[in-house]
A and B are shown apart, each in its own frame.
Chain A
């Protein structure tokens, strides 16, 4: 199969799943000021944001690199930086 990770597919319809975490709750955050050129989408779970005109390696689940993928467990296990301090006694 040809390597399609650098293709620029520009699917301006809301994709089915997040390229990064495969979640299916996605929103459209922005439309191009020039009508119909691109849209910016966001995943509700991992907050990944991408533009429809970006290369497939950033926009397509199947082309999204394994090293950058996130799972629900990764998100739950993510450390806090900085940690929330205890409330001071008043």
Chain B
């Protein structure tokens, strides 16, 4: 049964032992963020965290770390909580093939229960806002999905974008937003600003567990996140019409914030502790004027801690970055077996591929850098043979140590594009990129002394099972 809202998923997490209620009173800072930070440090299987006794608030309900372990990520996809990361990625890739699944429009969204407009909008009345990291410039909405449309093609359902963009609360009814230029909302904003128009947006907060997965997923410009959500959950995704913008938003959201990005305005923003494990600089960024807020009674405020990996953010953008790259590469190169793009949203990617002929693997690496996501992220690619599991890092290190002849197999490509947030870029937004070809050369690339590889014995699979059973029955 897919989840239509966050509350029903929190119930499942609780039943599965994956939600921890913090019953002591906590301070909004530094307790909530420190606890969520700690969840990433206690090892495998960390739970989501629930806070409802937050000092100074009367009705705060805060959910953190909802996707913050492989167990929780598996449950978000409706899989058993013990499903391995590799199996989760494979199942994700399998479900992708059902795309597009048409959404289902529903009336009576729970967030229609309450609303405020215009002068009366004050986010502090509705949300228990708090700071995450010491150097953050303020309080952020960092697990919200932002819906916007292409001003030149506003009726195109697929070009309507739903993406995760963190937003700083810079006033009671004002937010600052960071549209990274390679992302879809930046395209929408650019068109609007060239016309001198504001860009309407609908922000949805506290969503069912599939929305954060698709909102942080590098889909093609005209692919609908809602149609992908339908494929991933195996059922049409429930949407509703937001009252002020008319945009399509998740039916089950806790809070829907509507307004506009003010045309051609930039204001100081940040810094913010980012997915790179470093703070963004203080930069001038676009500003949202909030015009209407709709919300469920006693809304749950969902947020996410991010900082030095691994944190919830890394689980959230692991599989959903790996699968689009796999699909986009396979469309042209069916030889590609698996893609592990789980490091810093794909700044480093490991690809396993069969080889068509000598030099082929390096071409696959270059192609990964020219996918839509690759243009802004993929800066280092390690290529491994088809029988190496890119999710098994010791195996990858074996391949790299045994098969790389650095002068021929390490390619450095200067002056390529990358997100401006990449800490190593110089100047910001430009970087050299690297391909490490750790595959076995094939003809006509006849380098090396590979001889015959040692393969696992044909009987090993059977013995693996036998040992497991013997151990289990000891």
Contacts and interface: CB of A to CB of B under 8 A. Distances in A.
B267 interface: yes
Given A29-B171, A53-B29, A78 B189 contact: no
Nearest to A58: B134
Interface string A25-62: 00001101110011010100011111101110110000
Contacts of B195: 87-88
B285 A81 contact: yes
B283 A79 contact: yes
Contacts, number: 115
Contacts of B122: 30
B16 to A, nearest CB: 33
Interface residues on B, range: 35 or more
A20 B281 CA distance: 14
Interface residues on A, range: 35 or more
Interface string A50-90: 11011101100000010110100011001111101111100
A58 B138 CA distance: 10
Most A C-beta atoms less than 10 A away, residue of B186, B193, B281: B193
Nearest to B57: A33
Interface in B53-67: 55-59
A75 B282 contact: yes
Given A48-B137, A57-B134, A87-B194, A82 B186 contact: yes
Contacts of A79: 281, 283-284, 428
Most B C-beta atoms less than 10 A away, residue of A29, A47, A65: A47
Nearest to A70: B282
A32 B282 CA distance: 28
Given A49-B139, A85-B193, A88-B194, A38 B56 contact: yes
Interface in B255-298: 264, 266-269, 271, 281-286
Contacts of B131: 50-51, 54, 58
Given A51-B131, A65-B135, A85 B28 contact: no
B190 A86 contact: no
Contact of B135 (A32, A54, A67, A80): A67
A48 B282 CA distance: 11
B124 interface: yes
B463 to A, nearest CB: 55
B420 interface: yes
A84 B266 contact: yes
Nearest to A8: B27
A19 B169 CA distance: 18
Given A40-B124, A49-B139, A84 B28 contact: no
Interface in B133-179: 134-135, 137-139, 168-172, 176, 178-179
B56 A32 contact: yes
Most B C-beta atoms less than 10 A away, residue of A8, A55, A70, A78: A78
A34 B138 contact: no
A53 B56 contact: yes
A81 B283 contact: yes
A82 B135 contact: no
Contact of B189 (A32, A46, A82): A82
A58 B189 CA distance: 34
Contact of A85 (B27, B139, B190): B190
B181 interface: yes
Nearest to B128: A33
Nearest to A27: B171
Contacts of B134: 57-58, 65, 68
B30 interface: yes
Contacts of A58: 29, 131, 134
A81 B137 contact: no
A78 B282 contact: yes
A69 B229 CA distance: 42
A72 B194 CA distance: 30
Nearest to B265: A84
Contacts of A55: 29-30
A68 B30 CA distance: 17
Nearest to B124: A30
Interface string B20-57: 00000001111000000000000000000000000111
A51 B266 CA distance: 25
Given A29-B172, A78-B281, A84-B266, 15 more contacts: A8-B27, A32-B57, A33-B59, A50-B138, A55-B29, A57-B134, A58-B134, A68-B135, A70-B282, A75-B268, A79-B281, A80-B283, A84-B264, A85-B193, A87-B196
Interface of A: 8, 20, 29-30, 32-34, 37-38, 40, 42, 46-51, 53-55, 57-58, 65, 67-68, 70, 74-75, 78-82, 84-88
Closest 6 CB pairs of A and B: A32-B56, A37-B56, A49-B138, A30-B124, A88-B194, A68-B135
27 contacts: A20-B137, A30-B124, A30-B172, A34-B55, A37-B56, A38-B56, A40-B124, A40-B129, A46-B282, A47-B176, A51-B29, A53-B56, A58-B29, A58-B131, A70-B282, A74-B282, A75-B282, A78-B283, A79-B284, A80-B266, A80-B284, A81-B283, A82-B179, A82-B180, A84-B193, A85-B193, A85-B194
